[in-house]
Chain A
Amino acid sequence: MSVHWNDNTPIYRQLREKVVAMILDGVLKEGDALPSVRQVAADFQLNPITVSKAYQELAVDNLVDKRRGIGMYVAEGAREQLLASERERFLREEWPILMERIRRLGLEPRLLLQGLETGGERA
């Protein structure tokens, strides 16, 4: 498997984001086992300490449960929790920037909502 990591974010955090995205997209469902540290290290050609660190962060955020001697599992309620925190983050960090740009370009809210609706129909 070939993965591209960007240079500006620590890899353990990028790995954490990958798992988060997989939970949000439903690829990893609640109760699903995460692949072992060893497997991820081998497949992504990362040192196991990096992988452990990413898993550790997910555990600290209660997104995965550690079952001793067995492995890591996606926690109950992980997706809901992520959706809530991602929505909050969008409104706090991304939306103000978008709004600024919308204002600068003089876009009408009605026009934007139209696009959203058609986008919704398509999905």
Chain B
Amino acid sequence: MNIPATDTSGHAVRARGLVKRYPNKLALDRADFDIPTGRIVGLIGPNGSGKTTALKAILGLMQFEGELDVLGFDPRTQRDELMEHVCFIADVAILPRWIRVREAIEFVAGVHPRFDRVRCERFLANTQLKPGMRVREMSKGMIVQLHLALVMAIDARLLVLDEPTLGLDILYRKQFYQRLLEDYFDENKTILVTTHQVEEIEHILTDVMFIRDGKIVLTSEMEQLPNRYTEVMLSADCVDAARALNPLDERSLPFGKVVMLFDGVERTRLEPFGEMRTPGLADLFVATMKGTYA
């Protein structure tokens, strides 16, 4: 597999000025974003920030205002064509509880022209799921395994995952991403994932978008984050000088130390203040979303 570091050949999703109004809330507030082809993009935001609304717009599950191109289709008017190339895992709850593994396979084979039954059965052979097993007899982790096997057997160009591992234990969570990377993802496919478990997927992502109050507030290739953001641990006597460089965030530590987070300030200017490190995605998230629930 040979993946170019930057794919300029196209985008899977392009959104301009997306607006979604609910009676007492603006769920999407002129959101703009691009999702290039062949990337694994994390859409990350606190509860109620508009993540799921954005996914619903991409999947053509609701009306909205603004421009949206998904794989060359308009999800509002070309949903059927679009659905041939898009797969979605929302929450474990959407498989009917009475359905058996073999019936679920039959069903997807019947409705989806790009489903490969043999592939699906091969994925299932590596799990404890048996053809006669019903969804209601399965643990939450097993339901996700079934869902993932069904979805990975569809040759889709865009895979949308909304909190796919919520409520799973760490073994199932690791396995979920391992399967995706080993058996599914390649340079022609694009994965869009929302999650709260930021630390767990930060190395899997190639790109990240933060959403807050219906707006995209940060978008970056993961590789570029260290060039943009720096965290510095400084002692109390440099605080004023450091503040002059407009830190994004600051917090106090014991023994009079202060940690400041900078966006776009050159490291050579920060070096005199103290020890520097590259913040993790979780640090950036906390700093960017400060005050959300206040």
Contacts and interface: CB of A to CB of B under 8 A. Distances in A.
- Decide whether A and B assemble into one complex: yes
Please tell me the size bucket of the interface on B.
20 to 34
Nearest to A37: B1
Contacts of A11: 203
B241 interface: no
Contacts, number: 58
Interface in B150-190: 174, 177-179, 181-182, 185-186
Contact of B1 (A8, A43, A50, A52): A52
B206 interface: yes
Contact of A38 (B181, B205, B280): B181
Contact of A49 (B177, B179, B206, B279): B206
A21 interface: no
B270 to A, nearest CB: 14
Interface string A39-67: 10111111111101100000000000000
A109 B279 CA distance: 42
A45 B182 contact: no
Interface of chain A: mostly helix, strand, loop or mixed = helix
Contact of B205 (A36, A47, A53): A47
Interface in A13-47: 36-39, 41-47
A45 B177 CA distance: 7
Interface of chain B: mostly helix, strand, loop or mixed = loop
B204 A38 contact: no
Interface in B26-57: 39-40
Contacts of B182: 38-39, 41-42
Interface residues of A, number: 21
Interface in B178-235: 178-179, 181-182, 185-186, 203-206, 222-223, 226
Interface string B1-30: 111010000000000000000000000000
A7 interface: yes
B186, B206, B223, B226: most-surrounded residue (chain A CB, <10 A): B223
A41 B181 contact: yes
A43 B182 CA distance: 8
A10 B203 contact: no
B277 interface: yes
20 contacts: A10-B223, A36-B1, A37-B1, A37-B3, A38-B1, A38-B181, A39-B182, A41-B182, A44-B203, A45-B177, A45-B203, A45-B204, A47-B222, A48-B1, A48-B181, A48-B185, A49-B3, A50-B203, A50-B206, A52-B3
